[in-house]
A = this chain, B = another copy of it.
Amino acid sequence: MAAFLAATLTDAQRTAWLRLLRTDNVGPATFRQLLNRFGSAEAALDALPDLLKRTGKPIRITSQSAAEDELAGLSHYGARMVATGEPDYPQLLNYIPASPPLLTMVGGANLDWQRTVGIVGARNASSAGIKMTRLLATDLGERGYTIVSGLARGIDTAAHRATLTTGTIAVLAGGFDKIYPDENIPLAHDILDNGGALLTEMPLGWEPRARDFPRRNRLVSGLSLGIVVVEAAKRSGSLITARLALEQNRDVFAVPGSPLDPRAEGGNALIQQGAKLITNAEDIIETLGSADPARSALFDRDWEPDLTPDAPPPSEDDKSRLLSALSSTPVEVDELIRQSGLTVSAMQMLLLELDLAGSIEWSSGQLVALKYQ
C-alpha cells in the first residue's frame, strides 16, 4: 500500500497516474496491480509496451499531452484531480473494492466527508417518496450528516435540494461538465454555490452511458457510512447501490411501504433480506452512531493484491493452464491458484496481462471471470 500513502503527488506523478489510469483496459484494480508491480506509475508506463507485446492485443497508451490537457481543462473549470492517499481524497473511499485511484472534484472543501449518508431511490418517485426523502435528508443534515446522492431525477434531486445548506455531495456518472439529466444542471450549480461537491471518476467530456451508472453507484455507497433506499422498484439501480453498499460493509436502510405500491417492492425486499427498516432520521443515526470509520469490521479489509516485483515472467504453458481454469463464472483468485497449480506471482502477472488485453473482468474487486466477448 506504500505507493498509496504518499501525502501529495507531484505534478509529474499526477500526470503519470492519469496517463496510466486513462489507458485502455486499465481500471482501478489493474491500475493498482501495475503500480504494485512496477513501483510507480512512471515505471509502469515505461514497462507497458513490453507487457502489451506479451498480451498480443494492441492497446492505446494515453499520451503525456492528453493527460496534461485533461488536467489543464480541469483547472480551467476550477476542478481538481485528487489521488488516493492525498489529504483531499475522501477517506471512506479508501476502504471499498476497486476504489478510484483518481477522482475529479469540484467544491466541497468544507464538507464533513466522514459523517455521510447516501440517499437513493426511484427517478419516478411518488409525492410521498419525495416528502419522505425531504424529511429524512433535512433531519440528517441538521444532525450534522452530509448527504450523498447521484443527482438523478426524483429521490436524488429531493435529497440534494433538502441539504443544499447543510452539505450535499453529488456523484456523477459522466464528466463533471456532462451533467445528467440536463434538467439538473441548475441543481448542480446550486450545490456548488452552497459549498456542496460534485465528484466523478470519469474524464472531462465523458457522456454517461447506461453501464456508467452502476459504476457511479458504488461511489455513492462508498462515500457513505450507510445508504437509505427510499422508493425502489424490484429491479432498479437503487437495489444495485444497496448490494454494493453491503459488499462495501456499509449499512443499508430502507423505507418500508405498502405491498400494494410497486415503488415499495425494492425497499420491502431489502428489509426482508436484512436491511434495517427505518421510519425517520433517528432510526438511521442510532445505527450510524456506532459506525466509526475506525471500527475494524468496516475498515480492516485489505483489497490490495500483493504482487512480487521482479518475479520471472510466467510461461505460455502457465497461461494456457490459467485460461483453461477460467470461465465466464466469476471465481476467487485463490480458487484459481488451487485449480491451476500456478504460483501466486505467476497468477498475478498473468491476470494483469489478461486484464490489459481486455480478456477478463472483475466483480467486487475479488472475483474474476472471462469477459463475454
Contacts of A280 in B (CB 8 A): 259
Contact, CB under 8 Å: A277 / B256: yes
Identical subunits present = 2
Contacts of A259 in B (CB 8 A): 132, 255-256, 278-280
Identify which of A255, A258, A280 gathers the most chain B CB atoms within 10 Å of its CB: A258
Q: Choose the segment among A44-52, A210-218, A219-227, A264-272 that binds chain B (4+ C-beta atoms closer than 8 Å).
A: A264-272
Contacts of A279 in B (CB 8 A): 259, 265, 268, 272
* Assembly CA distance A277 to B256 (angstroms): 9
Chain A positions 315-339 with a Cβ under 8 Å from a chain B Cβ: none
Identify which of A264, A268, A276 gathers the most chain B CB atoms within 10 Å of its CB: A268
Q: Mark A228-242, 1 if CB is under 8 A from B, else 0.
A: 000000000000000
Identify which of A255, A260, A265, A278 gathers the most chain B CB atoms within 10 Å of its CB: A260
Is residue A128 contacting chain B, with contact meaning CB distance below 8 A?
yes
Closest to A255 in B: B259
Question: What's the nearest-Cβ distance from chain B to residue A307, in Å?
Answer: 46
- Assess A128 versus B260: contact at CB under 8 Å? Given A272-B283, A283-B272: yes
Contacts of A265 in B (CB 8 A): 279
Other contacts beyond A255-B259, A257-B257: 9, CB < 8 A: A128-B258, A132-B260, A255-B258, A256-B256, A258-B261, A259-B278, A271-B277, A272-B276, A272-B277
Is residue A189 contacting chain B, with contact meaning CB distance below 8 A?
no
Q: How many residues from A make CB contacts under 8 Å with B?
A: 21
Q: Mark A77-118, 1 if CB is under 8 A from B, else 0.
A: 000000000000000000000000000000000000000000
Contacts of A255 in B (CB 8 A): 258-259
Identify which of A271, A277, A278, A280 gathers the most chain B CB atoms within 10 Å of its CB: A277
Contacts of A276 in B (CB 8 A): 272
In the A-B complex, the 10 residue pairs with the closest CB atoms: A256-B256, A259-B279, A271-B277, A257-B258, A272-B277, A268-B279, A128-B260, A256-B268, A128-B258, A268-B277
Contacts of A271 in B (CB 8 A): 256, 271, 277
* Assembly CA distance A258 to B278 (angstroms): 10
Question: What's the nearest-Cβ distance from chain B to residue A311, in Å?
Answer: 52
Contact, CB under 8 Å: B260 / A258: no
Is residue A60 contacting chain B, with contact meaning CB distance below 8 A?
no
Is residue A131 contacting chain B, with contact meaning CB distance below 8 A?
yes
